[in-house]
């Protein structure tokens, strides 16, 4: 039996600290698994019961301050008052002053190892470098090569060869750069944290006496009534029971305009009531709302390593020891072989250690991926992992379901063509009774056509769904079927009259349904679904990006082609059963490589799973879509698909830029170091400057979605 304990570790910013903790806990008994969330500075330890204190103590011995937290909670941010800022920045400021004073004394006296210079340098190192030296010592104890250990070696080495002012200034500049880098990373943390804090913590709830009172949102249960006034945020997911208003859903779906809401319409936690008082029945508790699922999914997604990140981490694992070996060779071989002064060789090796640290390279990928995931979420696109964000750039073909994806998915009955002596009212009642057992949109349209959903239906027994065709059931002692053209043919009721009616309705772009028994057909229904206006713009944008489009639908060929022509789809595959769609995706992958599939997340589940990236429409209303798809489009706006592809390509460009910057700048300073032209000062600027540069470049994605054309 194992349990999981969550820790918040304030000093855990990058893979440097992750490796120290992994190595430090490796020999600790009872630890089964470590899961790191570097962006939120969280560590989940899976272990045997009773090991919590030992794990906490082991992390503390590594020079870090772990704090136990529950679930997704994190400690409240520290106060930003004057005293807090002085405690945070005071020692660093004094370190800088002492380092600068040591440089001035050295410049005035020409001696860099006098007692005054050494005293000022030591003061600077103690004030500004305690954290670095402590982490370096922890890295040495756990046999982990990282920037803190390399920096500690460089500073101590510089002091030992008499470069006291330079040692002091290097430790100060490194500490300052670390602080600035931490604030830069906090921008990405705050971007995700802002999503989590959208929903208010207090709700106005009606109690048993009918009185409205304030209650903590965490205590509100499903079924209770909330009141939300104009301008207030909705605290929990629910269904409008009284009142009408427009609700700004942009935090959830990315829609730019408020959406009208009236009784029976769903609303989501974190959205804003524009005008009018709404009474809302709660449908999800705090922690189970759409907003909570989005925040949770983003955190889980950013914790997963994308392919580029896995490659960079693997590269750094071998790169850093290689650099240390090279530094040792530079410090020892030239003095032994070419009689180079030992002083110069050691100094050059120290510079190389600082320059070669892979921190910028390691930081370049996670900050870019997380920024891309957050930018997508702000626009109502929920990506379930960096791997899918990277994969999107490779997509050259997208397969789309018709109903609910290209169309509204809410068809209506337009034609009822009787084929027997039964009255139309009885025909519709029989069809609605059979279809009441189906959740297909066409079936729902026929049920609604029976004078509304609540109209009386005939009891059906022995109902059997025929996958991809329709259904069969017994009514009043007789077996009836209702389904598509294929089912009518299988039931041997496709007479010339039926064929002619089907052809005529299908030519008009309508879906057709046949009602009949083993004796004869009774009627043909024509059902029409309207095309989403956004579908036409989305397909056009996909074509502009060089992406081919394919429709995969269970509807008939004629209707499918009519819809495809209206939208602009390149290829049509009609009469597709779930296994046919799965086979089609496999064929498209062989032809195009990476293929996207867009569906409703339930009926298209096999094809969604087979596709390189599966996209679910309407995920704001369904748990299944969030669970099965790789990417969820929260507001049914298909234009988000080309936006995602554009974001994926932009992410890939920034990843390439960051890796090129990290490696390119290092390469230049490698050459300068080997030529003896680089100093420790320059090494710190090269290392931390590159880190800040790649972080800032990655953060550009947080505003990139605003520039993607719709």
Q: In what order do the strands lie in the sheet with 245-248?
A: 259-261, 245-248, 272-273
CA separation for the pair 495, 1 (Å, rounded): 66
| Residues in CB range of 678: below 8 A, 6 or more apart | 351, 355, 669, 672, 686
The CA–CA distances, whole Å, from 257 to 26, 207, 234, 278, 641 equal: 52, 34, 17, 19, 19
Nearest to 698 by CA among 292, 236, 389, 357: 389
Instruction: List all residues 6 or more positions away from 104 whose beta carbon is below 8 Å from its beta carbon.
Output: none
Q: What is the rounded CA–CA span in Å between residue 322 and residue 643?
A: 42
Cross-strand pairs, 206: 212
Residues near 34 by Cβ (< 8 Å), separated by ≥ 6?
A: 21, 22, 25, 43, 44, 45, 46
- Could you tell me which of 49, 20, 48 has the C-alpha nearest to residue 36? 20
CA–CA gap between residue 433 and residue 420 (Å, rounded): 18
Per the listing, tokens 């959406």 go with: 259
Q: Is 275 helix (H, G, I), strand (E, B) or coil?
A: coil
Rounded alpha-carbon distances, angstroms, from residue 630 to 351, 384, 386, 505: 45, 5, 10, 37
* Best CA proximity match to 546, nearest among 444, 393, 437, 688: 393
Question: Which DSSP letter does residue 182 get?
Answer: H
Q: Which helix (H) or strand (E) holds 511?
A: strand 511-517
Q: How far apart are CA 372 and CA 705, in angstroms?
A: 9
669, 686 in Cβ contact below 8 A?
yes
The answer to whether residues 383 and 506 touch, using CB atoms and an 8 Å cutoff, is: no
Judge contact between 214 and 201, C-beta under 8 A: no
d(CA 128, CA 121): 10
Q: Which residue pairs, CB below 8 angstroms and at least 24 apart, start in 699-703?
A: 699/184, 699/187, 699/188, 699/367, 699/371, 700/371, 700/654, 701/368, 701/371, 701/372, 701/374, 701/375, 701/647, 701/650, 701/651, 701/654, 702/187, 702/188, 702/191, 702/371, 702/374, 702/375, 703/375
- Asked if residues 60 and 40 have their Cβ atoms less than 8 Å apart, the reply is no
3-state secondary structure of 456: coil
Is 248 designated active site? no
Which residue from 354, 577, 551 is spatially nearest to 469, judged by alpha carbons? 577
Q: Which of 401, 529, 555, 687 is catalytic?
A: 401
**Residues contacting residue 60 through CB under 8 Å, at least 6 positions apart:** 66
Rounded Cα distance, 232 and 214, in Å: 14
Nearest to 604 by CA among 444, 409, 376: 409
Q: Of 309, 359, 306, whose CA–CA distance to 692 is shortest?
A: 359
Catalytically active residues, by annotation: 401
């Amino acid at each position: 039996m194992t349990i999981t304990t969550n820790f918040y570790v304030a000093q855990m910013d990058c893979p440097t600290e992750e490796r120290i903790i992994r190595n430090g806990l490796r020999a600790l008994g009872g630890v089964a698994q470590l899961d790191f969330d570097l962006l939120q500075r969280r560590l989940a330890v899976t272990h045997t019961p009773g090991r919590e204190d030992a794990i906490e103590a082991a992390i503390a011995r590594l020079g870090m301050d772990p704090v136990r937290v529950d679930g997704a909670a994190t400690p409240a941010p520290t106060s930003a008052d004057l005293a807090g800022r002085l405690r945070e920045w005071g020692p660093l400021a004094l370190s800088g002053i002492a380092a600068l004073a040591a440089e001035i004394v050295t410049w005035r006296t020409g001696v860099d190892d006098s007692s005054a210079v050494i005293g000022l340098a030591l003061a600077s190192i103690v004030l500004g470098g305690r954290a670095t030296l402590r982490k370096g010592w922890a890295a040495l104890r756990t046999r982990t090569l990282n920037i803190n250990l390399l920096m500690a070696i460089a500073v101590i080495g510089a002091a030992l060869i008499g470069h006291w002012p330079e040692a002091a200034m290097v430790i100060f500049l490194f500490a300052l750069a670390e602080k600035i880098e931490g604030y830069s990373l906090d921008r990405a943390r705050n971007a995700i944290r802002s999503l989590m804090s959208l929903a208010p913590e207090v709700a106005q709830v009606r109690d048993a006496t009918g009185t409205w009172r304030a209650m903590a949102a965490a205590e509100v249960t499903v079924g209770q009534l909330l009141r939300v006034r104009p301008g207030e945020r909705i605290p929990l997911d629910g269904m409008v029971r009284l009142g009408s208003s427009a609700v700004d859903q942009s935090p959830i779906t990315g829609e730019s305009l408020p959406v009208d809401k009236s009784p029976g319409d769903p609303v989501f936690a974190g959205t804003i009531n524009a005008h009018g008082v709404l009474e809302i029945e709660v449908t999800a508790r705090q922690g189970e709302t759409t907003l909570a699922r989005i925040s949770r999914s983003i955190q889980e997604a950013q914790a997963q390593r994308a392919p580029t990140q896995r490659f960079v981490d693997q590269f750094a694992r071998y790169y850093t020891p290689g650099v240390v070996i090279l530094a040792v060779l530079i410090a020892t071989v030239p003095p032994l072989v070419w009689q180079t002064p030992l002083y110069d060789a050691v100094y050059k090796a120290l510079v190389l250690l600082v320059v070669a640290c892979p921190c910028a390279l390691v930081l370049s990928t996670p900050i870019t991926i997380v920024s891309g995931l957050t930018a997508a979420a702000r626009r109502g696109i929920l990506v379930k992992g960096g791997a899918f964000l990277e994969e999107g750039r490779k997509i050259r073909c997208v397969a789309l379901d018709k109903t609910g994806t290209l169309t509204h998915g809410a068809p209506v009955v337009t034609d009822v063509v009787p084929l027997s002596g039964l009255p139309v009212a009885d025909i519709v009642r029989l069809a609605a009774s059979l279809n009441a057992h189906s959740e297909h949109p066409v079936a729902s349209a026929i049920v609604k056509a029976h004078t509304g959903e609540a109209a009386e239906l005939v009891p059906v027994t022995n109902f059997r769904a025929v996958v991809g065709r329709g259904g069969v059931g017994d009514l009043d002692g007789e077996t009836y079927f209702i389904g598509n053209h294929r089912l009518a043919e299988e039931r041997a009721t496709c007479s010339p009259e039926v064929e002619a009616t089907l052809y005529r309705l299908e030519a008009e772009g309508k879906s057709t349904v046949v009602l009949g028994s083993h004796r004869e057909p009774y009627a043909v229904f024509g059902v029409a679904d309207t095309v989403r206006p956004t579908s036409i713009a989305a397909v056009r944008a996909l074509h502009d990006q060089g992406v081919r489009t394919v429709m995969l639908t269970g509807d008939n060929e004629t209707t499918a082609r009519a819809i495809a022509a209206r939208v602009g789809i390149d290829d049509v595959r009609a009469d597709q059963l779930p296994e046919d769609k799965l086979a089609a995706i496999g064929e498209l992958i062989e032809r195009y490589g990476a293929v996207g599939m867009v569906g409703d997340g339930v009926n298209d589940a096999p094809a969604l799973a087979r596709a390189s990236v599966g996209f679910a429409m309407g995920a704001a209303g369904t748990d299944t879509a969030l669970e099965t798809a790789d990417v969820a489009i929260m507001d049914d706006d298909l234009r988000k698909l080309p936006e995602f592809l554009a974001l994926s390509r932009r992410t890939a460009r920034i990843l390439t830029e960051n890796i090129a910057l990290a490696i390119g700048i290092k390469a230049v300073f490698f050459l300068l170091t080997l030529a003896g032209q680089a100093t420790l000062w320059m090494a710190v600027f090269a290392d931390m400057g590159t880190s800040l540069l790649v972080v800032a470049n990655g953060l550009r994605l947080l505003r990139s979605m605003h520039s993607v054309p719709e």
